[in-house]
Amino acid sequence: MSRIPKSLVRRTGWPSSTSRPVVTPLQTSVVYASPDPDALDQQYEHGTGYTYAREGHPNADVLAAKIDMLEGAPDLFEAAGIVTGSGMSAVGATFLGLLKQGDHVVGGDQLYGRTLRLMTQDLPKLGIETSLADPTDARAIEAAIRPNTKMIVVEVISNPTIRVADMEGIAQIANARGILLVVDNTFTTPRLYQPFAHGADIVIHSVTKLLAGHSDVTLGYVACKDPEHRTLIDTANASWGMTPSPFDCWLAERGMHSFDLRFDRAQATATRLADALAEVSGVTRVIYPTRPDHPDHNRAMGLLGGRGGNMLSFELVGGRAAANAMTRAAPDVAFAPTLGDVGTTLSHPASSSHRALTEADRTALGISEGFFRVSVGIEEPDLLIEEMVNSAQAAS
């Protein structure tokens, strides 16, 4: 039994028990008490214990270890991944930790919207040059390289047009020239693609999306091949205060118990849904990697092992009016600009992620007013497909 406390302020001892909890404990402590200054020296110099939650805490490390395992990280190198307060802080900490004034970065021209903004607006303010190029064409990426190029940043599947990057070509170019290859693996997840096995130096995730999977936490992850890079990113993450909350890490780790099952179910439904939507007369095109009419079909089949993931896009012939009718006809499918939730979500890039672009720029990307992106969830497949097909028909 625990001791009877002598004061309300003194911490009550934790009851002793020969059994142990089955579930990962949630450790919310901000500070950790050490036995004496010698022990504190050991903690700082050899990482023998936690000191302060901004510098690291058990729930972040438990979560990181799970993602490390999925990414094949422990087989490749010693340094474990770092959990950050959001996907954007994983991107931000990578940039802040590894880049300096005068460096140049090449990014894919269809990166996640905030990452694009960081590249085009924020990095230049720090004296870091950036260029964007089409990642489906490794020669375009190569042409953007300058003598001071330090890093190439790509996503495997583009948002929202579901194009598949030439990862093999880009990795060859980056590896041959000693340029760091950073892969944001959020859309693909390690279930579809493992960047470290294909020449990546750094892997980033928005854990917020498919990995945590329940739309109730905002978290990120970054892992590096080189332990020195890890130290630099970890330091940036702590110094700029981008570290995660223990509770969020706890929730995400809990969500990850079912990640494989969720992913496989959503993917199987997405494959069926893509074919079903393609049959609807008012649907002009469906973009899904395993469909033979996908613009990067052969590459996608090779890179993704014949699987297509849970994301697809489609276009209604009737423009904005049809888009309004579609979302109203499918009230159980959340019309919300996110992805990776247990429930299917529908997003309309022209009015959300790509609203800042001119119509001409959107048209060049193939994003019309009738264009939707779908993040397929894990609801009953027949029910979902019926709802989606009926609402697309109603909107046609």
Ligand X SMILES: *Cc1c(COP(=O)(O)O)cnc(C)c1O
> Which residues are tagged catalytic?
54, 112, 184, 209
Q: Which of 103, 109, 155, 341 binds ligand X (CB under 6 A)?
A: 155
> Rounded distance, CA 295 to CA 390, Å?
27
Residue 341 engages ligand X in binding (rule: CB under 6 A): no
Report in angstroms how near the CB of residue 67 gets to ligand X at its nearest: 13
Q: What's at 29, amino acid-wise?
A: S
- Residue of closest CB approach to ligand X: 87
Residues 170-189 that bind ligand X (CB under 6 A): 184, 186-187
The structure tokens listed for 55 are 């510098």
Distances (CA, A) of 273 to 64, 266, 280, 298, 372: 33, 10, 11, 21, 13
Closest to ligand X by CB, 174 or 203: 203
Helix axes 381-394, 319-329, angle to 10 degrees: 140
Cβ–Cβ < 8 Å for 181, 171: yes
Q: Which is nearer to ligand X, 136 or 391 (CB)?
A: 136
Tell me the CA distances in angstroms from 59 to 21, 142, 251, 296, one per residue in order: 15, 40, 9, 39
Our finding on whether 218 is near ligand X (CB under 6 A) is yes
Q: Of 36-44, 49-57, 206-214, 347-355, which part binds ligand X (CB under 6 A)?
A: 206-214
Which one of residues 60, 63, 86, 138 is an interface residue with ligand X (CB under 6 A)? 86
Residue 220 in the binding site for ligand X (CB under 6 A): yes
| Contact between 296 and ligand X per CB under 6 A | no
Cβ-contact 217, 225 below 8 angstroms: no
Say if CB 113 and CB 339 are below 8 A apart.
no
State in angstroms the smallest separation of the CB of 93 from ligand X: 12
CA–CA distance, 43 with 149 (Å, rounded to integer): 37
Selected binder of ligand X within 94, 188, 206, 345 (CB under 6 A): 206
* Tokens standing for residue 260: 């494989």
Under the binding rule (CB under 6 A), the answer on residue 109 touching ligand X is: no
Pairing of the two strands 104-108 and 129-133 = parallel
> Minimum distance between the CB of residue 208 and ligand X, rounded to whole angstroms?
4
Q: Which residues contact 117 (CB under 8 A, 6 or more apart)?
A: none
Q: Which two tokens mark 233?
A: 């990113």
Query: Measured in Å, how far apart are the chain's first and last C-alpha atoms?
Result: 69
| Residue 81 binds ligand X, judged by CB under 6 A | no
Cα 181 to Cα 96, 128, 162: the distances in Å are 16, 17, 21
Q: Is 345 helix (H, G, I), strand (E, B) or coil?
A: strand
Establish if 84 lies at the interface with ligand X (CB under 6 A): no
> With CB under 6 A, what is the number of residues at the site for ligand X?
15
Q: Which stretch binds ligand X (CB under 6 A): 16-24, 50-58, 204-212, 248-256?
A: 204-212
Torsion of CA 218, 290, 363, 354, to 10 degrees: 0
Q: Is 87 helix (H, G, I), strand (E, B) or coil?
A: helix
* Nearer to ligand X (CB atom), residue 113 or residue 199: 113
Instruction: Using the minimum distance from each CB to ligand X, give the nearer residue, 154 or 273.
Output: 154
Which of 59, 208, 237, 353 is close enough to bind ligand X by CB under 6 A?
Answer: 208
Nearer to ligand X, 87 or 309 (CB): 87
Residue with Cβ nearer ligand X (166 or 184): 184
- Least distance (Å) between residue 338 CB and ligand X: 7
Judge whether 233 and 93 are in contact, CB under 8 Å: yes
Interacting residue with ligand X among 56, 81, 87, 190 (CB under 6 A): 87
The binding site for ligand X (CB under 6 A) comprises: 86-88, 112, 114-115, 155, 184, 186-187, 206, 208-209, 218, 220
